[in-house]
């Protein structure tokens, strides 16, 4: 279909990049992304995705904006206090980019809605501070073969991971195709209350860094997925400003991506 004249101007700083071009931007414009959690990570995530031209954003969160959120959840203003985050986010994002379709769900991610949320998106992103949500989303993404972008923060430390076990089948990645559960087989590495900013504290700028890295990963997934390091986790240290990446080895029989293994096996048998 090609980009409109307005889109050519608006996205010119991206299309000018050799690796992106108009073709890459067209894929972003057609892209559908689900963002679960509209707090510190969800704020920069949704803003960078909407401004970069992502076609459809589905935002999931049942919280309201509180005074203590404003120090890091940069999507919201003082006028948004006590409003549902997804509704305040909607108002701001459609003003940033009127061409971005923003769909909001003022509900918690649960086993009852996760299948629909994932099936309606090309990429799912975790901006939540709940371990339960993270694994729910990761497992469903594995089941449906969708890329999953993980993010977490604590104090001055940040983590980002891109996973897509199915990517091996699709030819967009090499290796074994691990998932979040391969890294944390026990599921809950830390008790839920220890992962929450209201208990351990956090710098706003750190969630900004991690949320921005997640947004970058999503955009790159649309443009050149084969060039990304998937099944890989990166840790950012806000004291030294250093980062370290590690491949996540696939755990055989993993409860998250194990089903994908089964499908791959069946696929290979069929080919024979």
**Selection from 12, 96, 110, 113 nearest residue 47 by Cα:** 96
| Least distance in angstroms from the C-beta of 247 to Zn ion | 13
DSSP code for 64:
B
Residue 103, classed as helix, strand or coil, is: strand
Tokens of 182: 């391969």
Q: Which is nearer to Zn ion, 97 or 178 (CB)?
A: 178
| Least distance in angstroms from the C-beta of 177 to Zn ion | 8
Q: Which is nearer to Zn ion, 84 or 251 (CB)?
A: 251
188, 191, 195, 197: CA torsion to nearest 10: 160
Q: What is the total count of residues that contact Zn ion (CB under 5 A)?
A: 6
What residues contact residue 226 under an 8 Å CB cut-off, 6+ apart? 171, 172, 173
Asked if 99 and 53 count as a contact pair (C-beta separation under 8 A), the reply is yes
| Least distance in angstroms from the C-beta of 262 to Zn ion | 12
Asked if 180 and 148 count as a contact pair (C-beta separation under 8 A), the reply is yes
| Least distance in angstroms from the C-beta of 245 to Zn ion | 18
Q: Which is nearer to Zn ion, 30 or 264 (CB)?
A: 264
| Least distance in angstroms from the C-beta of 264 to Zn ion | 13
Q: Are strands 101-105 and 56-60 parallel, antiparallel or unpaired?
A: parallel
Marked catalytic residue, from 164, 197, 254, 257: 197
Q: Which is nearer to Zn ion, 215 or 228 (CB)?
A: 228
Q: Which is nearer to Zn ion, 3 or 164 (CB)?
A: 164
59 pairs with which residues across the strands? 35, 104
Only one residue has tokens 């649960």, namely 110
CA dist., res. 125 & res. 121, Å (int): 10
Question: What would the x/- binding string for Zn ion be over residues 234 to 263, using CB under 5 A?
Answer: --------------------x-xx------
User: Within 10 A of 257 (CB to CB), how many other CB atoms are there?
Assistant: 30
- Residue nearest Zn ion, Cβ-based: 254
Q: Is 142 a catalytic residue?
A: no
Q: Which of residues 83-102 bind Zn ion (CB under 5 A)?
A: none
| Least distance in angstroms from the C-beta of 75 to Zn ion | 32
Please give the backbone phi and psi of residue 57, each rounded to the nearest 5 degrees, phi first. -115, 130
What residues contact residue 256 under an 8 Å CB cut-off, 6+ apart? 135, 138, 139, 142, 179, 180, 181, 182
Question: What would the x/- binding string for Zn ion be over residues 151 to 190, using CB under 5 A?
Answer: ----------------------------x-xx--------
Binding residues for Zn ion (CB under 5 A): 179, 181-182, 254, 256-257
Catalytic center residues? 197
């Amino acid at each position: 279909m090609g980009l409109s004249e307005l889109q050519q101007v608006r996205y010119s700083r991206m299309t000018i990049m050799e690796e992106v071009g108009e073709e890459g931007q067209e894929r972003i414009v057609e892209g559908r992304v689900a963002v679960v959690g509209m707090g510190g990570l969800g704020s920069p995530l949704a803003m960078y995705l909407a401004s970069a031209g992502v076609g459809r954003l589905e935002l999931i969160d049942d919280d309201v904006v509180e005074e203590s959120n404003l120090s890091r959840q940069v999507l919201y203003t003082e006028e948004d206090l006590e409003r549902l985050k997804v509704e305040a986010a909607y108002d701001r994002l459609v003003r940033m980019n009127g061409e971005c379709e923003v769909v909001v769900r003022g509900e918690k991610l649960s086993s009852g809605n996760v299948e629909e949320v994932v099936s309606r998106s090309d990429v799912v992103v975790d901006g939540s501070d709940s371990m339960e949500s993270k694994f729910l989303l990761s497992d469903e993404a594995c089941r449906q073969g969708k890329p999953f972008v993980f993010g977490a923060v604590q104090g001055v430390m940040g983590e980002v991971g891109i996973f897509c076990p199915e990517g091996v089948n699709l030819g967009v990645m090499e290796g074994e195709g691990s998932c979040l559960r391969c890294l944390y087989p026990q599921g809950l590495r830390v008790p839920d209350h220890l992962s929450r900013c209201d208990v351990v504290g956090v710098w706003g700028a750190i969630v900004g860094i991690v949320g921005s890295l997640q947004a970058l990963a999503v955009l790159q997934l649309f443009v050149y997925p084969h060039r990304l390091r998937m099944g890989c986790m990166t840790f950012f240290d806000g004291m030294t400003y250093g980062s370290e990446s590690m491949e996540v080895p696939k755990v055989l029989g993993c409860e998250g991506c194990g089903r994908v293994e089964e499908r791959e096996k069946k696929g290979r048998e069929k080919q024979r």
